Amino acid sequence: MQLEFEHQITAHCENGVASNLLKNKGLAISEPMVFGIGSGLFYVYLPFLKVNHAPGLSYRPAPGWIFNRLAKRLGLKIKRQRFSSRRKAQQVLDENLRNNIPSGLQVGVYHLPYFPEDYRFHFNAHNLVVYGKEHHEYLVSDPTMETVHRLTEEELERVRFAKGVLAPKGHIYYPIYIPSTIDWEKAIVGAIKKTCSDMLAPVPIVGVRGMRMVAKAIRRWPQKVGVKKANYYLAQMVRMQEEIGTGGGGFRYIYSAFLQEAGKKINKPALVALSAEMTVIGDLWRDFAVDASRVYKKRSNQEDVYNKLSNDLLHLADLEEAFFKKLKKSL
């Protein structure tokens, strides 16, 4: 049993799953438009929450929020279910496949057999699509992978019911309604306003203020927790930023593409102009990640490296504060 479903590669899992599921239902929407209209650009620092023994840090809203915001702004309806019973979770998925419904799943990556070893850690907010089943094996479209994969019933159950922070609990979701007409301008403008509000929020741990809080923490980490642990914190930051979360340069490039596509779609040239500025900021995020990785891999020849990283992140915060003020004003 294999449904008609086109596997497409994207930079980020939730964007890709949403885009692929909606395209399957007849709504052609790109990953950047999913991410932008879903207000996916975000930043929050949670030093009181430890994830893999390092301070919590997220470059995106909570799992599911991007798709939910997209659905609300476009007038879509998404069905979501979580389960206490593993058997019931499998029954619902199998029933969907029999009814020609490709289904999005939230899973943990630690036990995903097709994931590279370096990317397997206890992260439970990954997303993929199951689009068929043959001989007790599920056909899996993971938008972050080049090709489709197969998982046995046992393998899929294990990642659907991974334990720990953000445990998925068999989470399954899929669109059940798409309106015939969509007010794209209203959706795009509302989404941009929300992103500007998030990034300029008057809260110490959120948006550009959260970035500044992290920058100041980096400066203190070697003395506060020791160099070894400080380097581990940097490694975890880069992993979430570029390898799993794609939240640094990756998200800025996606948002830049959104501004360019959105500006053309609703005839707002100012958005197209600002997209180039966001690309430059994305390049600087990538530079920051490279410099941080050299520190924790002990390959940096710069002096006073933690203060240098702190200053670089403070500079990024200043650039993003100015950018989002201009973006907000452009509307």
User: What are the pLDDT digits (tens) for 151-208?
Assistant: 999 999 999 999 988 899 999 999 999 999 999 999 999 999 999 999 999 999 999 9
pLDDT at 138: 97
Q: What residues contact 169, with CB distance under 8 A and at least 6 apart?
A: 82, 83, 84, 161
pLDDT at 1: 66
Predicted structure pTM score: 0.92
pLDDT at 244: 64
Q: What residues contact 94, with CB distance under 8 A and at least 6 apart?
A: 133
Question: Which residue ranges make up each domain of the chain?
Answer: 13-37+77-177, 184-330
Report the amino acid identity of residue 162: A
The list of the chain residues with pLDDT below 70 reads 1-3, 119, 243-246, 299-303
pLDDT at 49: 85
Query: Which CATH code, of 3.40.50.1100, 3.90.70.10, 3.40.50.300, 3.40.1390.10, is assigned to 13-37+77-177?
Result: 3.90.70.10
pLDDT at 243: 65
pLDDT at 302: 62
pLDDT at 51: 76
